[in-house]
Amino acid sequence: MVTKLAWAGAAAVVLSGALLAVSAGRANATTSDVPRASDVQITSQVEQKIVRDVPDASYRIRVSTQDGVVTLSGLADSVFAKAKVIEDAHAVAGVTAVKDGDLRVVA
């Protein structure tokens, strides 16, 4: 019984040390080192909406997000497709602004 308790205590010490090391590593990381999870989620959600709503143009439109600002670039088949892509980006939770200056319409 004492041996089991000793092993459990040792395991707890090792585990808490590992957690502290991981936490310290994250505390030292800068925002440029690690992309914000919310930006990654926003980009993914915008891409999913575009694939669903404008499937023909989805492979020609690039989406990136930084600090909640979505940047759209690439080619849309029509003015309607461009407007829908922009609308989709605005509809995602967490989006603070949408930049579409590099999203062009080609016929």
Question: 65 and 18: one domain?
Answer: no
Q: Which of 57, 43, 36, 39 is nearest to 89 (CA)?
A: 43
Angle CA 16–18–23, to nearest 5 = 95
Task: Give residue-wise pLDDT tens across range 53-73.
Answer: 998 877 899 999 999 999 999
Distance separating the N- and C-terminal Cα atoms of the chain: 78
pTM for this structure? Answer: 0.65
Task: Give residue-wise pLDDT tens across range 70-98.
Answer: 999 999 999 999 999 999 999 999 999 99
pLDDT of residue 22: 41
Question: 24 and 42: one domain?
Answer: no
Question: 61 and 85: one domain?
Answer: yes
Question: 23 and 41: one domain?
Answer: no
Question: 56 and 98: one domain?
Answer: yes
Q: Domain total for the chain?
A: 2
Question: 66 and 20: one domain?
Answer: no
Q: How confident is the prediction for the chain on average, in pLDDT?
A: 78
Question: 99 and 84: one domain?
Answer: yes
Looking at residue 51, which CATH number applies to its domain? Answer: 3.30.1340.30
Domain span holding position 43? 37-105
Question: 45 and 84: one domain?
Answer: yes
Helix (H, G, I), strand (E, B) or coil at 95: coil
